[in-house]
Structure 1
Amino acid sequence: MKIAIVILNWNGQQLLEKFLPTVVNFSTEATVYVADNASTDTSITFISENFPTVKIIQNMVNGGYAKGYNDALKNLSEAIFVLLNSDVQVTKNWLEPIISEFKNEPNLVAAQPKILDYKNKEYFEYAGAAGGFIDKYGYPFCRGRIFNSLEKDLRQYNDITEIFWASGACFFVKAKAFWEAGGFDEDYFAHQEEIDLCWRMQSQGGKIKYVGTSTVYHVGGATLETSNPKKTFYNFRNSLLNLLKNVNGLQAFVILFIRMVLDGVAAFQFLFQGKPKHFLAIIKAHIGFYKLIPKFLQKRKKYASNLKFYHIKSIVYQYFIRNNKNFNEL
């Protein structure tokens, strides 16, 4: 089973200098690619001079995560793609447990390892932690991370289990399933496109797994920090797009209405916290969503399904009203 590790890069030479050596050293069974999203720094020269075994894919434009990977992967022939953020430190034998799952589980289409915080290695990292889920209203959360509450790694998630979405920070996906589902939706640009893709692949009968016997460390926020309003914009807009595109029937519109009310509450919370840029980001996210409704109504004709997509009804209620901060308390 041939494996392609593909690192998307945009002006990230400092990250490549720091993290590419461990990827090369601990991934001898795979072919390592760097897909460059039209960088203007000296990333490509650095790779060529220091890592001759790493293959370079040159994208002509910076199309973000979604288009960047779609463009980079279209000419690869490997059976498994490992889409790896440039700010991830891998560990020895990180590939083997997950590749074994693909070999032993024919319906497995995507997976992720345990993702810990590079800056605080005893804790799970925000982007993926121990596997992702969403609630009925489209809010994503993880085993090991609910909103901004991160659990300490006490080996409580050293298991192998099915999840709803695998993190785009370290995303293992079967090439055949990736293309059969249509690849990433480029209208997302960045954030939550992996949730959308996992949703579509499961609607086609695939399984998504978390493999806690493999570990990586993620810096997080190297491209957009959590405090960046752009991140707020993409997360709020794209989760609305996920619901419109993938939830079948009239229930989608009821769910969307409730979700948008909850977004309004979140927006005013940002305002009261003295974060007006995030307040505006949610307003802009809704405007961006409205603009894409006609296009996504066409997409929902193709992709909407009756898949049971949510783990619990409301993570907002569980977290803010019942004060449940850990996944095992839900």
Structure 2
Amino acid sequence: MKPEVDLIVVTHNSGSVLPVFLATVPGCANVVVVDNASVDDSVTLAEAAGAKVIEIEENVGYGSACNVGAASGNAPFLLLANPDLRFEAGAIEALVAAAAAHPAAAFNPRFYSGSRRRFRRWSRLLPASDFWHGAPPDHDCAIPVLHGACIFIRRAHFEQVGGFDQNIFLFHEDDDLSVRLRRAGVELRLAGGAAVDHAEGRSSARSIESGRIKGEAMGRSLVYVMNKHQMPLDVPAERYRTWFKLLWPHVLFSSARRSKLLGFANGLNGGPMNSFGKRR
């Protein structure tokens, strides 16, 4: 039986987490690994697990790589997932069932990080009136914004809005997609019967330099999406708050946190990137 789901996972030096991720994927999904110029064993591990592998010679960013993976298949559903996830039993089947019950919707599962629940209550691209107030929900319901670590969506809806914005290298691509889906009449929902464990921030190997680059990408993406959606952004105030955070004790004594904040401050200068640390 042909799988109903094309599962797209983007890797960049993700060998330390990829085997655990792949081991939790059931047979109802066709796995496509899009590798963003890894120098570790990500590709070898993916091939050994029987996944379809698409290698990209340079790191084009998360959203662009997802678009490449999505274009390579034709299953009616897309599952866009980070490699630092672990699917709980029945999660993907529950997402398919939720989509059958709500055909005009895109979905998140319930996110956990160990015993801690994770839930996106708001986005800077949404008015405060749309924010989620209260405890994270456990039941099927409408939500304000999708968490990009695991998005389940009909291929037709993804293609209708043009997929991820390829001008966004990393960060806020899920906010942007959420806004465009909402405008297109696609409801954003939580599939309460689906759960994943997310080792947040472990998709790629960590280093001080990678932290700086991710911080810069975050700053650039913030400026880009706020301008794109005509949302106010006081860049000088944003930069001031960032410099103030550098004085926090847990930042002051952490070179990794300092590096990421300094990268973010620099990224507020704006402009997309087409690879880690390189401007177009």
The one-character-per-residue Cα deviations of 1:243-280 (angstroms, maximum 9, x if unpaired) are 22124xxxx4xx223xx354134223223233654553
Write the letter of the residue equivalent to 1:91: E
Measured in 1, the distance between the counterparts of 2:110 and 2:29 equals 20
Are the equivalent residues in 1 in contact too, given 2:219–2:270 (CA < 8 A)?
no
Give the Cα–Cα distance (whole angstroms) in 1 for the partners of residues 171 and 137 of structure 2. Answer: 24
1:71/1:132 Cα in 2 relative to 1: closer, same or farther (>3 Å)? Answer: farther
Contact 2:215 2:262 (8 Å CA) reproduced: no
2:83 is equivalent to residue 63 of structure 1: no
Counterpart residue number, 1:114: 110
Q: Deviation of residue 225 (structure 1)?
A: 5.9
Deviation at 1:61, TM superposition (A): 2.7
The C-alpha deviation readout for 1:149-170, integer Å capped at 9, x for no partner, is xx8xxxx521122122211111
| Alignment pair present for 1:2 and 2:8 | no
SS across alignment from 2:181: helix
| Contact in 1 for aligned 2:24/2:88 (Cα 8 Å) | yes
Relative to structure 1, the CA distance from residue 96 to residue 234 in structure 2 (aligned partners, 3 Å threshold; closer, same or farther) is same
Which of the two has greater helix per residue? 1
1:84 pairs with 2:61: no
1:47 paired to 2:46: yes
Displacement of 1:106: 2.5
Among candidates 244, 268, 273, match of residue 269 of structure 1: 244
Runs of 4+ in 1 over 4 A off after TM superposition: 135-139, 141-145, 224-227
Q: Following TM superposition, by how much is the alpha carbon of 1:93 offset from its aligned partner in structure 2, in angstroms?
A: 0.3
Aligned pair in 2 of structure 1 residues 123, 105: CA closer, same or farther (>3 Å)? same
2:215 is matched with 232
Matches within 5 A, 1:301-316: none
Letter of the structure 2 residue corresponding to residue 104 of structure 1? A
Deviations 1:69-114, CA, capped at 9 Å, x for gaps: 1122112101111111111111110012221221122321x21111
- Given that 2:35 and 2:54 are in contact with CA atoms closer than 8 Å, whether structure 1 keeps it comes out as yes
Q: Deviations over 1:282-315 (max 9, x none)?
A: 43122125x89xxxxxxxxxxxxxxxxxxxxxxx
> Is 2:236 aligned against 1:256?
no
Aligned pairs (5 A) from 1:127-146: 129-135=118-124
Task: Give ranges in structure 2 of 5+ residues lacking alignment.
Answer: 274-280
Distance 2:97 2:158 in 1: 19
Once the two structures are TM-superposed, the CA of residue 43 in structure 1 deviates from its matched residue by 2.7
Aligned-residue sequence identity (percent) comes to: 22
How many equivalent pairs are there? Answer: 260
Unaligned stretches of 5+ residues in structure 1: 146-150, 293-330
Counterpart check, 1:12 vs 2:1: no
Q: Matches of 1:7 and 1:263 in 2, distance apart? A: 32
Cα distance, 1:130–1:61 mapped onto 2, change above 3 Å: same
SS of match in other structure, 1:115? strand
Write the distance in 2 (CA, Å) between the matches of 1:186 and 1:138: 25
Once the 2 structures are TM-superposed, how far is the Cα of residue 193 of structure 1 from its aligned partner? 0.4
> Equivalent residue for 2:228?
245
- Tell me if structure 2 keeps the 8 A contact 1:164–1:199: no
Indicate the SS of the match to 1:97: helix
Letter in 1 for 2:81: L
Letter in 2 for 1:271: L
Matched, 1:288 2:263: no
TM-score (norm 2): 0.81
Q: Which amino acid is the alignment partner of residue 214 of structure 2?
A: K
Structure 1 letter corresponding to 2:5? I
Structure 1 counterpart of 2:276: none
Task: Classify 1:178/1:137 alpha carbon distance in 2 versus 1 (closer, same or farther; 3 Å).
Answer: closer
TM-score between the two structures when normalised by the length of structure 1: 0.70
Give, in whole Å, the separation in 2 of the partners of 1:138 and 1:286: 22
